[in-house]
Amino acid sequence: MNRLLFLTVLVLGFGQLKSQTIEIGQDAKEIKQLIQWSTQQRTGFDSYGNSKGNNVTWDVKYNNGLITDVIQCYSNQYLIDFRVSASFCKHYIMEYGQLAYVLTQYEDVSTEQLTEFYENNYGEYKSGKFYFSDDYKHYSKIYLANNGYATVEWRKTEPDELPADIQTKISNKLKAEQDAEEKRIKEEEERKQKEREIKSKTYDLKENNISLYNQTFSEIKSDIADYFQKSSSYYHSSNIPSYTDLANGNEKKYRFTNTYTAYYKLEDHSRESVDYGSVIDAGSYDVRQNKEIKLVSGTDNSCSLFNSISVKIPTIKIQGYEVMTEATFPNIKVDYAKGVTIVKIKSGEVEFKSFPPDEDIQIKLKEKLKSEPNGKYIVQYEVGNIAGKEFVNTELEKKTTKVGSGWLLLGLLLLGLLL
């Protein structure tokens, strides 16, 4: 219904398309200038193939030096709302130097056609013979003018000039719409207040979504395991000694055993979009995470392990709103062993001949190696237990000839240099 409220003229000037809203009470000279300008600038063709410059004319009428009527006529202009082509003139009628009302008179559209169109599109706001805008500040009236043209008259509503029954009807509708709008505003404010209250808190991930907590803990364990294992993308940047380093060392083995408590907390630094009217300042989504890692036991005093892995706890939904979370993962025990050794395997029995691993690691390696064929082997191994997530990785080089331990050690060193 806003199309009945404002008559918009598109003005093409300085290579740019501008929009000017014509309103009741606007100065007559401004209306004249606008209509003259818009008519002169209508050149080329619109999307329906109509000539923009050749099917529009304009004129002005005066009385005692004052503008009384600014006229803009269209010939065979396609009307999107009507879905017909029509010839018509708009009369911008002036009183006391200002726009008083607008008449649109059609040569080839009947009052019956106009009435059908308005009933279909604006019947909800019809009262008597008037079709009102959705805020009842303006109305349109359809009639057959004395000159024989089907006419739509557009005016500003003056309530005191309307019949009493229409005034009452309008008043009731406005009151109902006002009440509905106040209710909507109140509900929206209550919704925003509820959202602010919910989002102002930080929620314990374990208490509010145990499945996401467990999933995050599983990801932490996997990231730590990846950090240590040879196949890990972290491998070359880690502080874990290589097999070459171990082969050249005295003990031929490395052990990392530490226990941590990890705490993570999300903070929302996002900004909402702000509409300044002509400019919209786009908002941003900015969730940041703080962490606090404590060493429960072990030698990793700087907690460097947790600086080498990427952990991100998730946000969750509370009553449909995305909220920030915090999570504590206590007593994360990290046990990792890596080394090189020489073993003899016979009938499923594994004997450590040189550079034996720690006893608990020997148990795991025996279980891993017992199914290998009989023989002597140089074994590279890594064994880990990350908060219950275990892995055992081995690489074997079999010695097919009988050689002394010195030669095996030399082979071990050469193998290490190749890695």
256 closest CA partner among 337, 358, 357: 337
> Can you tell me the distance from the alpha carbon of 196 to that of 415, in angstroms, rounded to the nearest whole number?
63
Q: What is the mean pLDDT of residues 238-253?
A: 86
Q: Three-class SS of residue 55?
A: coil
What pLDDT, in 10s, does the model give residues 87-123? 999 999 999 999 999 999 999 999 999 999 999 888 8
At residue 51, what is the residue type?
Answer: S
Q: What is the mean pLDDT of residues 392-415?
A: 62
pLDDT > 90 fraction of the chain, expressed in percent and rounded: 61
What pLDDT, in 10s, does the model give residues 268-295? 999 888 877 667 788 899 999 999 999 9
What pLDDT, in 10s, does the model give residues 310-368? 999 999 999 999 999 999 999 999 999 999 999 999 999 999 999 999 999 999 999 99
What is the pLDDT of the chain when averaged over all its residues? 86
Largest Cα–Cα separation, the chain: 128
Instruction: Provide the whole-model pTM.
Output: 0.60
Angle at 329 between CA 325 and CA 330, to 5 degrees: 140
88 closest CA partner among 67, 68, 102: 102
